[in-house]
Amino acid sequence: MTNVTISRIRQKQIAQLLSSGKRLDGRGLLDYRPIQIETGIIEKAEGSARACLGKTEVVVGVKIEIGEPFSDRPDEGVLTTNAEFVPLASPEFEAGPPTEDSVELARVVDRGIRESKAIDLKKLCIIPGKKVFIVFIDIYVLNHDGNLIDASALAALAALTNTKIFKYEVKDGEVKIKPGFKDLPLINYPVAITLADIDGNLIVDPWLDEEEIMNARLTISFDKDGKICAMQKGGSGTLSPQQIIEAIKIAKEKSEELRGLVVKKNG
């Protein structure tokens, strides 16, 4: 994925602008690109949303199925997250088995949702040890212009706020689906904020060109109470301990801003 070639002169331009507090696309160092969120875009999915960060576009579909719980958690529903780098999204994406990057993306988004206990999995148990609801979160990248993690986490959260699970009744140990739906028991709202380091400058929401020349990135997920629930450093560079502490302060503020966009929309 790191093969989008950027000319030296452009690399230099981006870095020079940053050192004077500006970015190539006119943003401030700590500004997000315009964010658009739209929910309920796929009628056949139990939950869905599209999130756009500038030109980056991600669709998340949530499907609900009935299946077996994990043996070590017999009374909890199951959450699984998967990410597809759809070939139409970037010249760098190819059809085929999941890549290292798509596995990382799915796992980072999953970690934010799981560790913040966003979904009350206990309420998704139907018959303990036998039948539970399985929540499939499928991340579909439609246009890659950088910062897929934040866009995907935002789309996933928006899709979950919009997810309905079907009503059911248990008769003689059999699960029967009844007409009608109720809301997914969503009790937390995790938001991921990604910062990148370019030449010692921390920026928020790197777009593709910035990702290509960044030294390293750091994603921090915050839950609704301002607690950190997941972190992931990425990229083949390093960060200083001071930068990491600084990044957390910036990310905490930004997370409230982004959460407001999803939660407000859905009441």
Partner 1 sequence: MKEKIRLVDDSGIRTDGRKPDELRPIKLEAGVLSNADGSAYIEQGKNKILAAVYGPREVHPRHLALPDRALLRCRYHMAPFSVQERKSPAPSRREIELSKVIRESLEPAIFLERFPRTAIDLFIEVLQADGGTRVAGITAASLALADAGIPMKDMVAACAAGKADGYILLDLNDLEDKEGEADVPVAYMPSLNRVGLLQMDGQLTPEEFEKAFNLAIEGCKRIYALQKEALKAKYLAIKEAVEEAEQK
Q: What is the rounded distance in angstroms from the CA atom of residue 126 to the CA atom of residue 168? A: 9
What is each CA distance from 184 to 9, 121, 130, 137, 164, in whole angstroms? 50, 10, 20, 13, 5
Binding mask 158-187 for partner 1 (x = CB under 8 A): ------------------------------
Q: Of 4-12, 20-28, 104-112, 148-156, which part binds partner 1 (CB under 8 A)?
A: 104-112
Angstrom distance (rounded) from CA 64 to CA 53: 27
Could you say which DSSP state residue 97 is in? S
Other C-beta atoms closer than 10 Å to the C-beta of 260 total 12
At 191, which helix (H) or strand (E)?
strand 191-198
- DSSP character at residue 119: B
Site for partner 1 in 217-256 (CB under 8 A): 218, 223, 226-241, 244-245, 248-249, 252
Nearer to partner 1, 20 or 236 (CB): 236
Among the listed ranges 29-37, 53-61, 101-109, 167-175, the one in contact with partner 1 (CB under 8 A) is 101-109
Tokens of 12: 């230099």
Size of the site for partner 1 (CB under 8 A): 35
**Least distance CB 110 / partner 1 (angstroms):** 9
- Least spacing, CB of residue 184 vs partner 1, in Å: 21
Asked if residue 106 binds partner 1 (CB under 8 A), the reply is yes
Report CA 167 to chain centroid distance, whole Å.
Answer: 28
What is the C-alpha separation between 61 and 65, in angstroms, rounded? 13
Say which residue the tokens 């083949």 belong to. Answer: 236
Q: Which residues of 143-158 are buried (b: 16+ CB within 10 A; e: fewer)?
A: ebbbbbbbbbbbbbbb
Q: Does 63 bind partner 1 (CB under 8 A)?
A: no
By CB under 8 A, name the one of 107, 164, 224, 265 that touches partner 1: 107
Residue 100 interacts with partner 1 (CB under 8 A)? Answer: yes
Which region, judged by CB under 8 A, interacts with partner 1, from 26-34, 52-60, 106-114, 156-164? Answer: 106-114
Radius of gyration of the chain (CA): 20
- 57 and 143 in contact (C-beta within 8 Å)? yes
4's tokens: 């989008």
Instruction: Find the helix packing angle between 148-161 and 241-265, rounded to 10°.
Output: 30
Residue nearer to partner 1 on the CB measure, 5 or 20? 5
Q: How far is the CB of 235 from partner 1 (least distance, A)?
A: 6
Q: How far is the CB of 83 from partner 1 (least distance, A)?
A: 10
**6 touching partner 1, by CB under 8 A:** no
Distance in Å, CB of 103 to partner 1, minimum: 5
Out of 23, 50, 111, 144, the residue judged to bind partner 1 by CB under 8 A: 111
Does 74 engage in binding with partner 1 (CB under 8 A)?
A: no
**Positions in the binding site for partner 1 (CB under 8 A):** 98, 100-101, 103-104, 106-107, 111, 114-116, 216, 218, 223, 226-241, 244-245, 248-249, 252
